[in-house]
Structure 1
């Protein structure tokens, strides 16, 4: 699953010397808008290497925007509304968000609370394009979280199929992005990919791990 890719890339330092790195689910279709975005980012990162010192000087004095703080993602609305209610796609009945937040705070030495998720973006489908350093921080936490989750996360009273573990790490990534956005460390912009249920069929992939 995607979490394995995150950990493998970080543990083997495959993300180093790369400006932007990302992972996407196999059933996401790259649209014309998403491909155009990639071409635009490729040009901008090439240019930023040539003018990085000038750009940095402008940023120090508060001008322009730092491209390194932008994360491109699949956005599914707000994670939590102003009344403190989770988005239905957070699936709080299936995933223990209290444990995810506790793990995040312990790993990153922070003291965030659930209310801090109000009005923050909900990013899902484990599909991102992000700065390399941010990728490393996320992957390092996912490695520790995966150990913390075993074996209780897919035992009763939670769903018992092993596919649920991917759902946990998917929500962990959502939490990570929401809190970094809340801290104003990143800006989140749409990646413009689309879910396509015909892709698994074309590849001959079944979802037996979900019991379907």
Structure 2
């Protein structure tokens, strides 16, 4: 499986009626090196701007790759390398996804994922490569200073968090079950 975080920019074909885009095509994705079989689609609505969800992952044997897109509003989407022995362990990449730009972020297994909403009533849909498992649900604290995600929040305005996300562990307290596979973290744009 691919272990590169990818920013995908599906082509839109438009006219005076609007536009059409193909957001997933197995053959096209195989050409990108993304051979995951997606088994579940998730959809979230975050009403207030500044809602932060993450940094989440699932551990083996229920680890998940994700294909994320914003279908209403705008988000800042993040992937953090949590693969042990990776030269980029604890580093992050991020991209703005919006209904307007149509971009998608592919987050492979071995990366924590999170996003913050930049507009009210933002909706996010994402495909995952494994079913949800409460026993394998994990996370890292969103503002861990060792990671240093630069969340685009207004100065002095805290994000809106779930109780679970307020108490996630620090990266240094996480014993990662994910192995490094030779691909250091970089954001590949397709």
Q: Does the TM-score normalized on the shorter chain lie above 0.5?
A: no
More strand by share: 2
More helix by share: 1
TM-score range, shorter chain: under 0.3
